[in-house]
Structure formats: structure tokens, C-alpha cells
Structure 1
């Protein structure tokens, strides 16, 4: 793409105003222009990953073909790349209202959770301690804590949910004890869509001096997130769900907590001095301060820089405008689907992210998914959705999920509902 084309693509958002100009947005996503099974692609799987705006390519091309150099070295090309990476860090900090030194780049939300869990395993958890997670947890926010507890003979407590798919705050408060060392909760559920009352949960935990990690993988792409407002100690999310290249994620950590944690992965750039230890109990190596202490080795820095440009793109469109438009899609889809015979929506909390999970009486979720894959151009997801504990709690084998991005339309929802009618009729 030429520089002129890049300018036209990245500046379109300045003219977007209410009503939300979705067709202008869609023009920036080439993947949406293709056909599947001879029909226009309708991408309803943004909760898994988001398609990429065309503006990414010229940035990546320039970085790899003309500006490539390892950051944090002394020659001019390296200094230029270092400046661009740190500029991306500042953009992310501004996006979430945090300090730059509280932003750690990771490969994705999963690594962000593993980083904190591993550090707690090494330095914070003792036998008999407790870690509190929720029944709606993605496997990525369950397994790392299960492993950490197993390694230290700590106890993993799982908070149940209400029939509507919400957290009962009274029950949450009762689950907090003097043995709870950390709470790991979802900002929103990737299955139920429920947006949890994070601020209130953090306040309850902090009354007992318990830190809180928030899995923001599903919420951060769809709404403004403010670390000062939420008050949590850790917050992590993935870039690929927001339109960035894959392999990029963010871990926010409150400075006082990042300073307490030991290193996660050891390697280049995260250490200040290395020397042969006189004794293993008193090593001579000294590690860098946060955030560099948690960024060992050479990261996907070109992709991180490109993520910074995606942040610009989202900011230009307007995070609040994106949230309001996607909420309108959610309400529209819910109103269309609620009256359908044999369809049951799973997760009915009043505050939800833009997704709908459902079951079809008499049709297995994965059979419905196969039908859509064979007969339509609609991309959706079905199954256990990396939430086996939740599925067991709901007595379900799986669900079908449609999830929206700011490039989807009500017309696409109409097409989906028509196809759903046909799916049910043909598999009766």
C-alpha cells in the first residue's frame, strides 16, 4: 500500500461520527470483501480473534524491509526502533490510563496470566494459601493458577455463578479469607458475555489487602478500560483480538506489585549485571526494574510497534463510539433471537459484551457449526469454548457463539438469523 493509501486509510476515522459509519469502517478490512461458499463472508467470531485493518501492512513492510534493527542497542537504526517500541508502550499506557513503566509487553493475555501466576508461585504462595478464580474462567485463567497451587500445595477456590451467569457480590465477599493471596477474575466472560463488576470486586478484595488480576481479553477490545477507575493490581489482554498482529499482548501491573515480583523469563535486556554467583543462595546478578525485568529476550518488536498504530486507529474512531455501536448490535441480535423456537440464549446478565451464546434444542452445537460451515459464509464458533468447568456447571456439552466487532452490521445479523431458521428446519 502506498503512503497516500495509508494516509487515506488511517485518517478515515476522523470523519466518523454518529450515526456510526460502519461502511466506512468495513472498507478498511479487506478480509470482509471475500466470499465463502459462494456467499459474502459474515465474520461473527471476533471473540476468538479480530480481522486486521489494511493499515497494518505498510507499517510492517517498512519495519521489516527498511528499518529493522534489534532494539536497545546503540547504533542509529536500533535507537530508532527502540524509540518506536517505547512510543507504542506510551500509546498503550494512554489507552488504559496507566503509567508507561506499568505496561509490560507479552505475547498475549495467556502469557500475561502465566507471568503473574508463575511469579506468585515462586515468591508469594505457601502451603494452605488460597487463590480465588471464578466458574466462568477461560482455561487460560484457570490452568496457570491450578498449576501454581499444585506446585505450592495451595488451594484453588472456584467461585460459582448465578443462573443468569453473574457473580454474586455477597458470595464473592464471603469467599475472601485471610488465606486468599490473589483473586483472578474475568472482566467479561467469553462464553456468557457477562461484564463483571470489577471495581466493586476490587474494592472488596482490597479491604483485605488481597491483590486482583483481571483477565481483560474479551473486554479490552470492546470498551474503554481505565486502570485508575478499575483499581485492579494486574490487567492483561491480547492485541490480536483488537486488530493487531498476533503474538502481542499487554500486562498492566501496578508499579508496587511489579517491583515485588521476581523475574518471569530470564534472558537479554531484563538484567543489569550478570556475574558468577559466589553462592546459589546469594547470586550476584542484578535484574532491571519493571517493565524491562519482565521482557527477557527479543520480543516481536515490529508487531508491537504495529500494535501501537492499531491503538491510534481505534482511538481515532473513538473507543466509546465503538462500544455503543457494538452494544446496539448485541441488543439487535438478542431481540431477533429471543423469540426463536428451540433456541435458548445462555447468559442473560443485563451488562454483556457483544456476543450471544446459545443452544438449539435437538441439535448439538458442533453439528450446527458444521452446518453453517458447509452451507453459509458465516464464521462462528461452537463447542466447549475453552471453558470445560463452566460447561459442566451449566450441564451443557457445548454452545454456539456469535460475537461481534465494530465492522459487523444489522444486515449481517438478519442473514444469520435467516440461516439459523434454515439450520433448525433442515435438521429437525
Structure 2
């Protein structure tokens, strides 16, 4: 790994022919960016934690609660309008992911709940003592703990695929770890610490040869690149709206209908059951089978507005621009003495995590915020096993979105260098 071997993350310089990507205009759409923090223009470099919201999303929420509010699945006018709007968002998500049908799209609270839905279903129906679940060393806690619980309660075994020195999955190890007892592989599409984009299509091909399903945690990937679940051929895919610029409390679980139909429901309650007696219940068809109770329908509708916004900007244009920022930041940060970037995978999401020799990174975080108005993330990133492997307690993470600029990166670099001088 780069942290111990001294390798630096390198990526090929992306073309700056971004189709006229007008970041200055896009920044006007984000109200949070038009304020000052501690007397400095606010610079937000923590989109991997949660992305800022375009005003269209904020206004959509306000309009819904002000003039349209009604609970879905009812007959009178406002409730009918809400039902239709939720259905429209479901179709937009299906189109975004290239799902076969909107019924394969389940609305959940976030990527964490998406993982829990599948983990609990496998615990209840598909895991037995001695079975195996494969995850990887680069997982977020949200893709570790649910599977730990499932294994502890069933006697199944949790196996962890290692990574290489460059921060990529050890594909030879992964292939060798697949056995006749493997019941599911669950892994991130891209790492929220290392930025590594995993070869999902290759992994699903390996798994499907032995009839093993694959869950993909796309929390860090869906905001930054087009995702085609049919091309990837994954069995499940989960992500969160808030990391894309949508409201909090909304997420998506995509699942192949064949799997969703044979999985037991996650929760019981209204909506998910068509008929109920004291002896039994008949479940509603997909997707309602997995949407018990009252969903966050106002936020789901506003998420649909966010998807419209991103579609207008252009997903490929966003990806190209963010990759340019990643390259630009990497080149600038590597010039800082004593700064070490974690991971060196050639394909990465717009995330850079680094250490700084001789620096208290928690103090650096406060310094950047107080002196320069820069928001970064410092800590172990809910990835303690990975950080322990790297021999680190904390690191600094900067992450980029469509509304960031080269000038913000220049300010970050200047701030870090000034901090180093003042700390001497």
C-alpha cells in the first residue's frame, strides 16, 4: 500500500475538453456555497460524506409541503398526485441504473438500509452454519456489521478479500476464496477511502459461474459515474440520495426481480401486505413488498427533482469534470513535502485521502475550517479495519463534486503549506 511502500496515486490526465462544463453557472445553483465561514468563502470538500443540495431540490420540498402535501396510495386529489410523483421518481431511478423495470427499485433510508435489507433476507432464508459470505478489506462499516450479524446468528463464516499494495482488490485471492459454500459476495463499487473503482463486471462473472449473487455498495459511485446494472450484471445495487445532492433519509436498493421475489420481506406493516389475518399475511407485489409503512415520500419526490437536474447537466460531463479535478488535486497535493496519498489505483473516484508527516491531522482539520473556511473530513471514515491495516488512526480526506473548482484546490494547497510553516 502507498502509505507504507511510498507509492503515489497516479491517474492519466483526463481531457479538459469537458463539453463546455460551466462550473461558475452550476455553483449558482447551490445556496450553501454563497456564504462565508469564519469570514472566508465556504469551500466544501466533503461530498463523499454528503453532497450539498441544488436549490431546485430545496424548492421542490418546500413546494410539496406548501401546496401538494398528501399521503400516497389514496384516492383523493393530493394523495393521488403524490402517488404519481413517487412512481415517476421510481421510473427515473430505473432509467438511471438501466434496471429492467421500476419494480426492481426499492426505496429505503439509504445505502446502509439497502445492505441490511439483503443481509437480513439472506440470514433468514439463505445462510446456514458453515456457509460463507465474502466482503473486502476496503468496506465501510455499513457493509461489514450487517454481514457480521447475519453470520453470528446463523453460524456462517465472514471472509475478507485482501487488497494489493496499490489499494486494488487482490483478484487472485478473491477467485481462490470463492467456494461451494459461498452464498453471496458483497463489496463496494468504489472505496470511500482509497477511491479505488472495483472491477464489478469481472467479479459478477466469476461469481455467477458458481451461481453466487453479488451485492454492490454504490454509495460512492452512483454520484460520480453512470451506472448500468445490466451491464455490470450485479444482483443487487444500493446507494444514497444525499451523497448525490438529494435529501437525506432516502436511498435505493436495486435487485433483480428473481431475487427480490424469493427474499422474505425486511419489515412488516401497512402497504407491504395485501391481505392480513391473525394467522397469516399475503405480501404485496414488488416493490411494495419491501416498503412497509409510510416512506419518506416528500424526500423521494425531491430526489426525482435532483435526478432531473443531474440529467440536464449531463452525467458524462459531470464525470469528466470531476475526474479533471481529481487529477488536478493529485498533482498539486503531491508537491507538498511530507504529504502521502493513500492508494494508487489507476481508476479512482474523485476522492483523495492523505497523511501529513509531523502533523496532527485533527488540528489541521480545525485550522483549515477556522482560518480558510475549508471543510474536509478527518478520521477513520467508518473504515477501521482498513485503517488498521494501513497502520493509521486518522487521515485527511478531500472529495470533489460537480460544484468544486481548481481555485478551491489551490486554496487548500496554500492552506496546508501555510499550516506546515506555522507549525514549525
Q: TM-score, normalised by structure 2?
A: 0.94
**Match of residue 269 from structure 2:** 267
Structure 2 match to 1:79: 80
Structure having greater relative contact order (Cα 8 Å, sep ≥ 6): 2
Matched with 1:133 is 135
1:12 is matched with none
Indicate which of 395, 403, 409 corresponds to 1:407: 403
2:9 corresponds to which residue? none
Query: Out of 123, 128, 153, which is 1:121 matched to?
Result: 123
Q: CA deviation at 1:104?
A: 0.2
- 1:19 CA displacement: 2.4
2:291 pairs with one of 279, 292, 295: 295
1:66 is paired with a residue whose SS is: helix
The answer for unaligned runs of 5 or more in structure 1 is 1-16, 278-283
What residue number does 1:251 align with? 253
- 1:2-37 C-alpha deviation (Å, 9 max, x unpaired): xxxxxxxxxxxxxxx722100010000011011111
The separation in 2 between residues aligned to 1:61 and 1:406, in whole angstroms, is 24
Which residue number in structure 2 is paired with residue 376 of structure 1?
Answer: 372
- Give the corresponding residue for 1:397: 393
CA displacement, residues 90-140 of structure 1 (integer Å, 9 cap, x when unaligned)? 011001101201000001001100111111111111011110000000000
Name the residue aligned to 1:61.
62
Distance in structure 1 (CA, Å) of the matches to 2:83 and 2:395: 45
Cα deviation for residue 157 of structure 1 reads 0.3
Q: Which runs of 5+ in 2 are unaligned?
A: 1-17
Report the alpha carbon displacement of residue 76 of structure 1 after superposing the two structures with TM. 2.4
* 2:45 and 2:400 in contact (8 A); partners too: yes
**2:40 alignment counterpart:** 39
Aligned to 1:313: 309
Superposed displacement of residue 370, structure 1: 2.2
Deviation at 1:375, TM superposition (A): 1.7
CA distance in 1, matches of 2:117, 2:265: 9
Give 1:389 shift.
Answer: 0.3
Distance 2:220 2:58 in 1: 25
CA contact 2:167–2:194 (8 Å) conserved in 1? yes
Structure 2 residue corresponding to 1:424, chosen from 396, 420, 423: 420
Identify the residue that residue 204 of structure 1 maps to in structure 2: 206
- Tell me the residue number matched to 1:336: 332
Q: Aligned equivalents of 1:343 and 1:33: distance in 2?
A: 30
- Structure 2 distance, partners of 1:367, 1:299, is 41
- What are the within-5 Å matches in structure 2 for residues 352-391 of structure 1? 352-391=348-387
What secondary structure does 2:68 align onto?
coil
Report the counterpart of residue 102 of structure 1 in structure 2.
104
Tell me, in whole angstroms, the C-alpha distance in 2 between the residues paired with 1:424 and 1:306: 43
Larger displacement relative to structure 2 (134-143 or 335-344) = 335-344
Q: CA deviation at 1:374?
A: 2.4
TM-score by length of 1: 0.94
User: In the TM superposition, what is the alpha-carbon distance from 1:74 to its structure 2 partner?
Assistant: 2.0
CA distance, structure 1, for counterparts of residue 25 and residue 257 of structure 2: 40
Is residue 48 of structure 1 aligned with residue 49 of structure 2?
yes
Shift of 1:339: 2.3
Which deviates further from its counterpart, 362-371 or 48-57? 362-371
CA distance in 1: counterparts of 2:269 and 2:40, whole angstroms:
49
**Counterparts of 2:234 and 2:285, CA distance in 1:** 21
- State whether structure 2 residue 189 is matched by structure 1 residue 187: yes
C-alpha distance in 1, partners of 2:340/2:79?
A: 55
SS in 2 for 1:323: helix
- In the alignment, which residue of structure 1 is the partner of 2:234? 232
Is the contact between residue 161 and residue 170 of structure 2 (CA under 8 Å) also seen in structure 1? no
**CA offsets per residue over residues 191-221 of structure 1, 9 Å max, x none?**
0000001110111111111000000000000
Q: How far apart, in 2, do the equivalents of 1:228 and 1:321 lie?
A: 22
Residue in 2 that maps onto 1:10? none
Q: Distance in 2 between matches of 1:115 and 1:426?
A: 49
Give the C-alpha shift of residue 364 in structure 1: 2.8
Q: Could you tell me how far apart the structure 2 residues matched to 1:146 and 1:366 are?
A: 30
CA distance in structure 1 between the partners assigned to 2:301 and 2:104 by the alignment: 17
